[in-house]
Chain A
Amino acid sequence: MGNCCSEVAGGREAGGGRAAAAGNDAVNHFLKSRGMYGSQMELSFSATNLRDRDVLSKSDPMLIGYTKGKDGTLAEAFRTEVVFNSLNPTWITKHTITFEFEAVQTLVFCAYDIDTQFHNIDVKMLKLEEQQFLGEASCVLSEVVTRPSRSLTLDLLYREDPTMSGNPRHCGQLIVHAEECISSKTLVEMVLRCSDLELKDLFSKSDPFLLISKIVEVGLPIPVCKTEVLKNDHSPAWKPVYLSIQQVGSKESPLMIECFNFNSSGKHDLLGKVKKSLAELEKLHSNGEGENLFLTTTVGHNHQNKVLKSQLFVDKFSQSSQRTFLDYLAGGCELNFMVAVDFTASNGNSRLPDSLHYLDPSGRLNAYQRTIIEVGEVLKFYDSEKRFPAWGFGARPIDGPVSHCFNLNGSNNHCEVDGIQGIMTAYTSALYNVSLAGPTLFGPVISNAALIASQSLANGGKKYFVLLIITDGVVTDLQETIDALVKASDLPLSILIVGVGGADFKEMEIFDADKGERLETSSGRIASRDIVQFIPFRDVQSGEISVFQALLAKLPSQFLSYMRSSNDIQPNI
């Protein structure tokens, strides 16, 4: 189903009414939680005080950009044009890159002075060994986008000795500026309506919903949006749907709009479809016209489109720019990383090799350490102070009762540590200072994180908090955890849960709205939004790092759902 919500959620309950309600809740929740990530960024470049390598004139600089892989390899991403006779060039060439929040995107830049004899050669054909090297700089893309001005100034470094010995010389500065592409920020809102839908249910009208998919050259259309289900309605008018231009490619890209009759079994009946681009839908709206739905039928070996009496109308079509995740970052919002580590006895004695907390003398990281590193190394770039609350739970300190929320640093007064390394150090230190105990409770650490988030909110802070819980077992306080999560959903907080070891984490998926229903307390309060992501670590152990990225990828959308929840999506540039 691509980016759409799960059909299972909609079809899980028995009975059409309940299933439709559950399906609609899932759709609404999914749409509210979906935000903007994977934005396109346009990088532009300039430099100052470059080395002057020419005798009779100034240097003729060109900039080459590389992306650095996890293994350290460099892949050339772009080359600028050559700027003649300048030590302070502003290059015209721009580089477009997809911002991936969930990854550390390292960029390396090398500046060269292009020899006069090569000035008439296409830059792509230039051999770098024939040019004069001016300097090198590197950064992470998130370092650029978190700057208020979205500009980062880097020192260009030059080493006389290619063997990397000696101190590098500072040979000017490189300025990297980032702007988010308009298509990433442009949102289309549509209110769609159908008339005279065909009857599919035996004794009642249909229960229709729309599925909008992006048509691709090869393969099945990719779903991008889905409406709620309307009960017993042959002339439905759905809630507004929102599409970004980036999602569909362009306003001229063809879309398939399919109208289905909802069935709780999950096998929905196709009532008809329309193939239109956003531009064509806008035209329908302007003209006040409808478009007849069609069905594809097979006659022998041929496919024919049967035009139906049913019609699709666009009652509203508006286009606006919206504030994106990157806009909030540029506006000074930060993400503050928090971590809570499971110290219950089910992990095993940390001195034994089969323990989940085993500290390998060779330096190989255990699952807890690896998770902290993988998540923390991404999130650290979004906090200027890099002071991170770090807790443990389920352990007994020396001569004390079991604590379900203790400071990893051993302090009575504060829970923060310095940087990711501070978390790692506090973690290993704690292992030697507490006894693993139990049971496994999430409620206290969630409430503590919520307390900090609430305090920040009360003080008018611009921080959004991300709590990482790493655990080896199923929680004992299921209902208390749900209640804590529902209460926290009104606060600037997201929670990532990673399950380590071989336990059955099926129950954990209840907390993750992507895999379950919206959380609801026994008193009927419903989570304002989805704030939990869960993955089992064993998926990572197979070597697929992208699982951690999947864990992190939803954070921008959760952040945005918090910012927008007061009025759903509110254009505010």
Chain B
Amino acid sequence: MDKVHKASRTLEITILSAENLSLNRKSIKKNVYVIARVDPTNFGSTTAGFEGGSNPSWNEKLALDMSFQTRFITLEVKCKTSSGDRVVGTASLPLSDILGDYTPESCLHFLSYRLRDSRGEKNGIINVSARVKVPVESMSPAVTENPVRSGCSSSWKQPALGVPVGHQKSYYGGGVARGVPIWS
């Protein structure tokens, strides 16, 4: 069990709101919900909103366990209709947006993604906040649970200011060099 526990991490994702949703080119009145999916069998769902119409707000937090091999989360916005649940739009949330080159772990991010309908057409925006929680034994006591912006974990290592850190990915290929001039 310990081995399994250490091989996974938890994504805390708060489904905040969506903007400008439509179904068959018509405004949506109600019953919109979101599924955040790691894989077909690992997902979380919000409740169906009865207010907000095409601009629903949920502010619901979901916790998803995921392996270190997980690369992205799928966000599906759905609507309950008389003919069944319909997909309004989907978006992919790459884990690299949360665990980027210069972002400390456990930092809370506020992210927005374009939703596309089944035809691939733009269909509004989804807004979420998310962070990856490290295993409990590694967590700093100071880490806040409040999703309002209050800083990030203090475990972030201090990079050299003004100079790209050596381990960073190269910004560009093609032999373009980066560096700091040496004043004599």
Using a CB–CB cutoff of 8 Å, the interface residues on chain A facing chain B are 17-18, 21, 24-25, 28, 228, 230-233, 236-237, 239, 389, 391, 395, 397-398, 400-407, 410-416, 433-434, 441, 443-444, 447-448, 450-452, 454-455, 457-461, 477, 480, 487, 490, 520, 523-528, 562-563, 565-567
| CB pair B25 A416 closer than 8 Å | no
Q: How many A-B residue pairs have CB under 8 A?
A: 185
- Given A401-B177, A416-B162, A528-B127, 5 other A-B residues pairs in contact with their CB atoms under 8 A: A400-B177, A407-B180, A410-B181, A565-B149, A566-B16
**Which residues in A have their C-beta under 8 angstroms from that of B150?**
460
- Which one of B32-40, B61-69, B108-116 is at the interface? B108-116
User: Which of A18, A401, A461 has most B Cβ within 10 Å?
Assistant: A401
| CB pair A528 B112 closer than 8 Å | yes
Q: How far is the CA of A164 from the CA of B16 in the complex (A)?
A: 62
**Which residues in A have their C-beta under 8 angstroms from that of B54?**
230
| CB pair B100 A526 closer than 8 Å | no
Q: Is B31 an interface residue (CB 8 A)?
A: no
Q: How far is the CA of A451 from the CA of B175 in the complex (A)?
A: 23
**Which residues in A have their C-beta under 8 angstroms from that of B125?**
25, 28, 526
B contact patch SS:
loop
Q: Is B92 an interface residue (CB 8 A)?
A: yes
Q: Tell me how far the C-beta of A570 lies from the nearest C-beta in chain B, rounded to whole angstroms.
A: 8
**Which residues in A have their C-beta under 8 angstroms from that of B177?**
400-403
Q: Tell me how far the C-beta of A521 lies from the nearest C-beta in chain B, rounded to whole angstroms.
A: 9
| CB pair B102 A451 closer than 8 Å | yes
Given A21-B122, A487-B97, A566-B147: A460 and B154 within 8 A (CB)? Answer: yes
In the complex, the chain B residue whose C-beta lies closest to that of A563 is B149
Q: Tell me how far the C-beta of A344 lies from the nearest C-beta in chain B, rounded to whole angstroms.
A: 13
Could you name 8 residue pairs across A and B whose Cβ atoms are closer than 8 Å?
A231-B25, A401-B179, A451-B165, A457-B152, A458-B152, A459-B151, A520-B114, A526-B125
Per-residue A-contact encoding for B84-107, CB less than 8 Å = 1, 0 else: 000000011010010011111001
Given A28-B19, A400-B182, A461-B151: A443 and B114 within 8 A (CB)? Answer: no
Q: How far is the CA of A567 from the CA of B113 in the complex (A)?
A: 17
B interface residues, tally (CB under 8 Å): 64
| CB pair B171 A404 closer than 8 Å | yes
Q: How far is the CA of A450 from the CA of B154 in the complex (A)?
A: 17
| CB pair A411 B183 closer than 8 Å | yes
**Which residues in B have their C-beta under 8 angstroms from that of A567?**
16, 59, 148
Q: Tell me how far the C-beta of A95 lies from the nearest C-beta in chain B, rounded to whole angstroms.
A: 35
**Which residues in B have their C-beta under 8 angstroms from that of A400?**
177, 179, 181-182
